[in-house]
Chain A
Amino acid sequence: MNAMHLTLIKEFLIHKGAAVTEGNKEFMVQLTEELDRKYMNRPYYWHYRDATCQKGEPARVLISMNSSEGPPSVDKITHSHPVFQSLVQSAHEEAGFYKFYEKPAEQHVHVRLYPWLFLHGEAEFTPPGPESIWTIQAMSLTTGILQSQDDIPFKDNLSGLIPENCTPSTPIISFEHAISRLIAHTEMAIRNKIKTGRLEASKSYDVHMHTPSAGIIYRLVP
């Protein structure tokens, strides 16, 4: 756990509509009712409110990386708190699938965006020992081209909303077909990256990408 996990939770909570007051190594958050019901583990409170037709008050909590000496408390959530762990897990799940649009350099000109399917993640070895393999593969849903990518600059030129004067094209290749092809292509890419010299000849290995991240990015190139 490190400070990035704290940022991950903060972005997740902001994305889910919570009001966050920033601090240095901690932040205060006013949860929404949905978040409170899902993460704060107070079913009796919400049951009572629902049964008496009263509006509940979502909790206000401090989320911090500083370890707490005492037992886990309701209003301070540190890295070892189960709620912290659940939030990290949910944030990764939320970010596991995405849909983005590339922003054109000039916003005044009308442009068309073309869908690309992306798949990336860590392939791990069982039995453990060899270094994991990180791979990013993409496929154009317009032309069917398959590409290996070095990086995905999510923040710099991608947006969650369709940029002005942009029109996303409809995919020509069906999602189902595209997913199958992209997975096969990624398996091939992983096989090519495996350093067989580092493996024990007498063993058999399973290389599995447990939770790949995947999504669709509408790009300027078809």
Chain B
Amino acid sequence: MEINISIGDKEWRQRFFRYLNSFCEPSSPALTEISYELKHTSIKKERALSCLQDLIDFSPMPHQISAAEKVLFEMDSRAILADEVGLGKTIEAGLIIKELLCRKMVKKVLILVPSSLAGQWQKELWRFTLPSIIHRGKKEWRQSPITIASIDLVKREPFRSEFQKEAFDLLLVDEAHKLSNPKTLNHQFVASLKSSYRIFLTATPVQNKTEDLYHLSKLLHPSLFESKKDFKELIACDDKELLKKKMDRLMIRSRRNETDVKWTKRKISVLWIDQLPYEKSLYQAVENEYMRMQKENLHSFSHLALLRQGCSSSISLLKALRGEKHDDFCKSINVNLNITPDELITAKAQMILKIVKEHKDKVLIFTQYRATQLYLHWFLKQNGISSVLFRGGFKKGKKQWMTDLFRDQAEVMVATEAGSEGLNLQFCHCLIHADLPWNPMKLEQRTGRVHRIGQSNDVNIYYLLNKNTIEERIWRLLKDKMVLFETIVGEHDHLLSGTTEKDLDRYLNDAILHSRSEKEMKLKLDHLESVLKKPHHKIPQPDQSVGTGTEGLTEKEEF
């Protein structure tokens, strides 16, 4: 063990020497005594966060303190904070920054965030009495130990070179899953920055494939895995102890059910809706054409997307049909595409209006389609309900403005998933899924906007589903397979077992799109469920046929 001891620095010695030789004003015993007492009483205890005594207005949760302690005292302040959505990763990061500053281990901190979250970060840091500046993309004349910058802005010239020249003590990256591809500018830029400590924040460290984690590890602990091959071998290996040991050095992940937080309830209502005559006829026309193409094996994934858009709103489907790539499809269906605004009304919109009126409080609506978003905004306005829009394309100022408007004035926010990362809407207690994404993790991301730490009320969640549509098919199969759904949503962090979001999507798509019968589809999902139940499951590839449905139970029993 090597121990290096040092006291003050050269500058300190010179200042003290100058003081001793100067004729200064008399010292104050009272002032010196209080300063002495404060310093003496605040010495750092073993494995304890000393910054906690400086926090007056709020107390972090035990799991947040424990995560910060682990990063500081066990992981050398180089880690991925990968807590589930809504558990307070920002608070954990704030604690780490505050403690490192208190211990004088860092003087210069750079926080790279998506531009829409810069203001929110500044606000969160203020809770720790940590002043910071946001780099606005001009020549920065202000000085602050903490700089918040948009990664998309500073990764490009002229800022890129400026930031590469600087040496930061701590580099913190929010939504760090955007660094998982080594070919991207994001990854290369972060790799080129000089920093002693690095903290990455993401709820989904694995986005597309398990190698994502390897690429993140290269930015944090380059020597943790010798090579990509070594990493893959470790994952494939039966003995998971070594892998777990390495992962413990790399990542912390707190789950909701492991925390002491008393979570409010999620009151889930699934509402089955009969489509209105026009939307029904439009949907059926598209479905019939789709079935015809399926028989002739001419169908594609984009045609399936049309069905989903038809379930979202008529206007969304019409907009898609008017697109160039669906010209042929459009000609084949025999339905009136020139309609009046009244015919555009959907049963879902009417149901949403009913829920909003009954709820008499803030309501958040999520949809996947911009056309549906705009339509719902217009429809609610026609019925005297004020609503605001929120989508990824908005600039950060507008996003903040929309959030403020929703909190203070509007009754409803109609949002798309894009850009809703990091959105905190705990003041809202009602969420409506106007349509369903295929990926259950996105569903959880949506719910995490309102059902997160700080939510004091039970949250009402409504799923709006059209009867006799593709939504019914998907939902019924998934409902029957609740274990499967829970496995995906609740335990999606079996990150290293070979299961990935992309694989899952691909397999689900294949099961629904290419199955020649309900029986085959059911069989494929049975197989998926049985695979996911295994401790180290690996999603089968779509081309690895799991039976055609005609083989019956014999095939199934083999799984």
Is B45 part of the binding interface, using a Cβ–Cβ cutoff of 8 Å? yes
Is B126 part of the binding interface, using a Cβ–Cβ cutoff of 8 Å? yes
| B72: nearest chain-A partner, CB-CB | A128
Is A196 part of the binding interface, using a Cβ–Cβ cutoff of 8 Å? yes
Query: What are the residues of chain A within 8 A of B26 when measuring CB–CB?
Result: 99, 160-161
- Contact code string B30-52 (vs A, CB < 8 Å = 1, else 0): 11111111111101111100000
Q: A124-B44, A130-B46, A194-B3 are in contact. Are A183 and B73 (CB under 8 A)?
A: no
| B100: nearest chain-A partner, CB-CB | A128
| Stretch among B14-22, B147-155, B413-421 lining the A interface | B14-22
Query: Once the chains bind, are A99 and B56 in contact (CB under 8 Å)?
Result: no
Known contacts A85-B129, A154-B29; 7 additional CB pairs below 8 A are: A1-B54, A79-B56, A82-B131, A121-B39, A132-B43, A199-B3, A212-B8
Alpha-carbon distance A107/B431, docked complex (angstroms):
79
Q: A11-B30, A15-B28 are in contact. Are A204 and B1 (CB under 8 A)?
A: yes
Alpha-carbon distance A119/B8, docked complex (angstroms):
11
Is A146 part of the binding interface, using a Cβ–Cβ cutoff of 8 Å? no
Alpha-carbon distance A176/B19, docked complex (angstroms):
12
Query: How far in angstroms is the closest Cβ of chain B from A98?
Result: 4
Query: How far in angstroms is the closest Cβ of chain A from B50?
Result: 9
Alpha-carbon distance A118/B44, docked complex (angstroms):
22
Q: Which 4 A-B pairs have the closest CB atoms?
A: A160-B26, A95-B35, A204-B2, A154-B33
Query: How far in angstroms is the closest Cβ of chain A from B324?
Result: 52
Interface of A is mostly: mixed
| Stretch among A40-48, A52-60, A184-192 lining the B interface | A184-192
User: B21 is contacted by which of A1, A11, A126, A175 (Cβ under 8 Å)?
Assistant: A175
User: A95 is contacted by which of B5, B8, B36 (Cβ under 8 Å)?
Assistant: B36
Query: Once the chains bind, are B24 and A212 in contact (CB under 8 Å)?
Result: no
User: In the complex, how many residues of chain B place their beta carbon closer than 8 angstroms to a beta carbon of chain A?
Assistant: 53
Query: What are the residues of chain A within 8 A of B33 when measuring CB–CB?
Result: 154-155
Query: How far in angstroms is the closest Cβ of chain A from B158?
Result: 29
Is B533 part of the binding interface, using a Cβ–Cβ cutoff of 8 Å? no
Q: A67-B57, A100-B27, A154-B32 are in contact. Are A183 and B46 (CB under 8 A)?
A: no
Query: What are the residues of chain B within 8 A of A14 when measuring CB–CB?
Result: 28
| B50: nearest chain-A partner, CB-CB | A132
Query: Once the chains bind, are B35 and A213 in contact (CB under 8 Å)?
Result: yes
Is A94 part of the binding interface, using a Cβ–Cβ cutoff of 8 Å? yes
Query: What are the residues of chain A within 8 A of B77 when measuring CB–CB?
Result: 127
Alpha-carbon distance A119/B57, docked complex (angstroms):
35
Query: Once the chains bind, are B129 and A80 in contact (CB under 8 Å)?
Result: yes
Best-surrounded residue of B8, B72, B104, B105 (most CB of chain A within 10 A):
B8
